[in-house]
Amino acid sequence: MDLPRERWVAIAGVTVLSLIAVAGFAVAIWAAWLFHDMPDASDLADYHPPTATRAYAWDGTLIGEFSRERRIFVPYDNIPPQLAQAFLAAEDRNFFKHAGLDYTGIIRASAKDIVNIAQGRRLESGSTITQQVAKNILLTNDATLGRKLKEAMIAQQLDHALSKERILELYLNEIWLGYRSYGVGAAAYNYFGKSITDLDLAQSAYLASLPKGPDNYHPIRRKAQAMQRRNWVLDQMADSGWVTRAQADAAKKEDLVVQPEPTRAKYRDADYFVEEVRRRGLATLGPRLTEGGYYMRTTLDPRLQSAARTALMDGLERYDRRHGWRGAWGHVTTLTGWEQVAKTTVTPAERRTWEAAVVTDVKGGVRIKTVGGQTGALAAEDVTWARAGKGIGAGDLIFVAPDDKGGADFRLKQVPAVNGALVAMDPDSGRVLAMVGGYSFSLSSFNRATQAFRQPGSAFKPIVYATALENGYTPASIVVDGPISLPGANGQAWTPENYEHEYLGPLPLRKGLELSLNTMTVRLAQGVGMPKISASAIRLGVVTKMENVLAMALGAGETTVFRLTGAYAAFVNGGRKVEPHLIELVQDREGKTIFKADQRDCDHCTMGFNGDESPRIQPSGAQVWDPITAYQITSMLQGVVQRGTGAAASVLGRPTGGKTGTTSEFRSAWFVGFTPHIVVGTYIGFDDNRSLGEGEQGARAALPIFIGFMQEANKLFAPDDFKAPPNARYAMVRGIREAFKPGTEPKLVDDSLTGPQPYDQVFGNGITGAPNAAAAVNPQAPPKPPVKKDEVNGLYE
């Protein structure tokens, strides 16, 4: 049917209007869906980006960072103008002029996007810094029209809600700049190893070149492109008038030199300590640790930590060398391309002079070539050592280091198969001054100081003797060292023996510790009662539970170096159980203390000094031993160093105590020692708990590590003597001046010149003493028998 033209026009008009209405409705629905969950820009007023928690040593040395995103927050007022201007020149030179959107930039980017859409390329951003803040913090990174619309709307809101300075602060702290860096603070440190205040013009311009794509301008892999982009930023800064043309041209001539890789801290000797801090920080703070931007002061002393790492690594290498060359770690049949094979093996990062090498000639001596291209001969003694072991031949891949003594070109090196740990603590506070949990953190992050539970052997015995002294025994008490057989498991007899398989008869307590006599210790434990000894071990934190069997008195229960070292602190500090800790203080970004290890109260410490007596703070820790008991054990353990199994430590030349420990079949070797200022635990053993080898006692394997560490540590402390409790009484017992609790001292002394006399007449207040007196506790006791020493070490275990 033919309709008038006017009718067709009307129908068409209605149809068009209907389509427009439908389209409008559809757009409205789409817009409602798009913007229904749009973030509120005002939320950024109090926004703090996730920031790294930085851990510092006791002296302020940065030792580590913990973060999801590696970021160092820098307030706007601390950002150098030159650095801010570099980013403005590269990203948004009109930032301080527009209201969140730069329409000129949008038109320019839109024109390019027409071509990009046709060619299937990613859309141009054309984004202002304000838009980038909106995208980076509040939105996703999707290159869609919807996200771009949200970005534009939020950018305008941001410009009204926040100051320009706050927006720029957020941008410069939030942006990803590569090299594990979020924000300019972390980037300056990771790329150049310096604070942003120390960056020069060329370095600032390079950082400003990175937002468009850090991988595209990598300073090592794509250095030419990186320098070209940096120079473009310098030109933009000159065009904007922020630097002169001469300054820009001078900066262009500067080479782009960065650190080979980003590092969390320049101090690298504390990896095990820092990882343990991270674990404990997570337990205390939870997820806040990696995003809260906390200041964390730890207990670490870098001087002692470096000494500990060196002492442990040297000691493990000495043990390893005693047990022979195990052979090359690799072999090649041709010298062509051997370097690529060598680079697949990791050297211990802590041994910075070690280098992979290939053996090129074995005629006469042995010649090598390092992966760095150096050639030379191995030391003759190393060649002899290698040939006595698994041998060495052409094509072998080995580790070498320059001969620092100058006798040869290179020394042959071998990564020890054995491992160990060292912990050093302040006995008065429990501060962990140093901790090394293994030979090399780069090869194994397992912390043997805190995670490896091993039997301590005779290193546990001081707890047995201290418990005895708390329960009626005195230094004058006599206990028999002789063969003993007791009912054991499955109806079989248990017959503990001394290391030498010899027995010395009735002896005062001291000798049982000094000579580490097993049968004497078992008899003592039998007399005291294992429930009391187990309770002491649990109270000290050595174990969480312990079977009440006599084998535990000889160190059959498992513990860690960390736990046992903390227990020994109570002998040094007067009998107080201090809590070993690595984290001393944690403060948030506003400086508010949220964690403090020292919980002691001091009511007057915050008051100004008015001339009165200074506040007195009680010592930390609960009293677990009588102070005289603690001093008695300290004195006996001094005897271990003076006359017993730890005699090698007498080379230190100052008051030192300690105890060796060796487990059955020589599976673990221990030495825990101390001076008045520091207590140190050392352990050596295989991770699979196999035997260290015949004769590898604590005195031979672990004690030299303690000595090596203490030779450096003692340089930091005065050569003080151990302080005796003021109420202790004294008497001579077999030629040694012993401390007693009041009322327990012997009533008679027998001096070879004067005969028996009343104790008070000879000793009075305990200040004087006869040098050759012997306690008259057991007048029939036989004289001290001659002591046979171990033929290898001159030591007992």
Instruction: State yes or no: pLDDT of 534 exceeds 60.
Output: yes
User: pLDDT higher for 532 or 777?
Assistant: 532
Instruction: State yes or no: pLDDT of 27 exceeds 50.
Output: no
Task: Quote the DSSP letter at residue 241.
Answer: T
Q: What is the pLDDT of residue 796?
A: 32
508-526 average pLDDT score: 97
Is residue 716 a contact partner of residue 699, using CB atoms and an 8 Å limit?
no
CA dihedral (318, 321, 322, 328) in degrees, to 10, reads: 160
Coil, strand or helix: which one is 791?
coil
Instruction: State yes or no: pLDDT of 764 exceeds 60.
Output: no
Q: What is the pLDDT of residue 773?
A: 31
User: pLDDT higher for 190 or 761?
Assistant: 190
Instruction: State yes or no: pLDDT of 392 exceeds 80.
Output: yes
65-77 average pLDDT score: 89
Q: Chain-wide mean pLDDT for the chain? A: 86
Q: Residue 600: pLDDT band by 50, 70, 90 thresholds?
A: confident
Torsional sign, CA 106, 107, 112, 116: positive
Strand order of the β-sheet with 755-758 is 755-758, 748-751, 774-775
Q: What is the pLDDT of residue 792?
A: 29
Instruction: State yes or no: pLDDT of 120 exceeds 90.
Output: no
User: pLDDT higher for 93 or 637?
Assistant: 637
85-111 average pLDDT score: 77
User: pLDDT higher for 94 or 266?
Assistant: 94
Instruction: State yes or no: pLDDT of 147 exceeds 60.
Output: no
User: pLDDT higher for 427 or 96?
Assistant: 427
- Of the given ranges (95-104, 118-127, 160-169, 754-763), which has the lowest mean pLDDT? 754-763
H helix intervals, 389-486: 461-469
200-220 average pLDDT score: 95
Q: What is the pLDDT of residue 291?
A: 86
Q: What is the pLDDT of residue 489?
A: 76
Q: Residue 121: pLDDT band by 50, 70, 90 thresholds?
A: low
Q: What is the pLDDT of residue 797?
A: 46
Is residue 299 a contact partner of residue 584, using CB atoms and an 8 Å limit?
yes
Q: Residue 128: pLDDT band by 50, 70, 90 thresholds?
A: confident
Is residue 155 a contact partner of residue 134, using CB atoms and an 8 Å limit?
yes
Instruction: State yes or no: pLDDT of 776 exceeds 80.
Output: no
Is residue 585 a contact partner of residue 595, using CB atoms and an 8 Å limit?
yes
Cα–Cα distance between 343 and 345 in angstroms, integer? 5
Q: Residue 109: pLDDT band by 50, 70, 90 thresholds?
A: low
User: pLDDT higher for 111 or 186?
Assistant: 186
Cα–Cα distance between 637 and 656 in angstroms, integer? 8
Give catalytic residue positions.
91, 458
Instruction: State yes or no: pLDDT of 777 exceeds 90.
Output: no
Q: What is the pLDDT of residue 47?
A: 74
pLDDT digits over 224-269, tens only?
Answer: 999 999 999 999 999 999 999 999 999 999 999 999 887 767 788 9
Instruction: State yes or no: pLDDT of 150 exceeds 80.
Output: no
375-384 average pLDDT score: 95
132-152 average pLDDT score: 60
- How much of the chain, in percent, has pLDDT values that exceed 70? 80
Q: Residue 579 is encoded by which pair of tokens?
A: 């809590």
Q: What is the pLDDT of residue 255?
A: 96
Cα–Cα distance between 52 and 50 in angstroms, integer? 7
Q: What is the pLDDT of residue 779?
A: 31
Cα–Cα distance between 262 and 258 in angstroms, integer? 9
Q: What is the pLDDT of residue 740?
A: 98
Instruction: State yes or no: pLDDT of 41 exceeds 70.
Output: no
Q: How many CB atoms lie within 10 A of CB 225?
A: 15
pLDDT digits over 174-200, tens only?
Answer: 899 999 899 999 999 999 999 999 999
Q: Residue 503: pLDDT band by 50, 70, 90 thresholds?
A: very high
Strongest mean pLDDT among 29-33, 65-69, 415-419: 415-419
770-777 average pLDDT score: 32
Q: Rg for the chain (alpha carbons), in Å?
A: 36
| SS3 sequence of 502-552 | CCCEEEEHHHHHHCCCHHHHHHHHHHHCHHHHHHHHHHCCCCCCCCCCHHH
Q: What is the pLDDT of residue 69?
A: 84
Q: Residue 71: pLDDT band by 50, 70, 90 thresholds?
A: confident
Instruction: State yes or no: pLDDT of 21 exceeds 90.
Output: no
- How much of the chain, in percent, has pLDDT values that exceed 90? 67
User: pLDDT higher for 660 or 132?
Assistant: 660
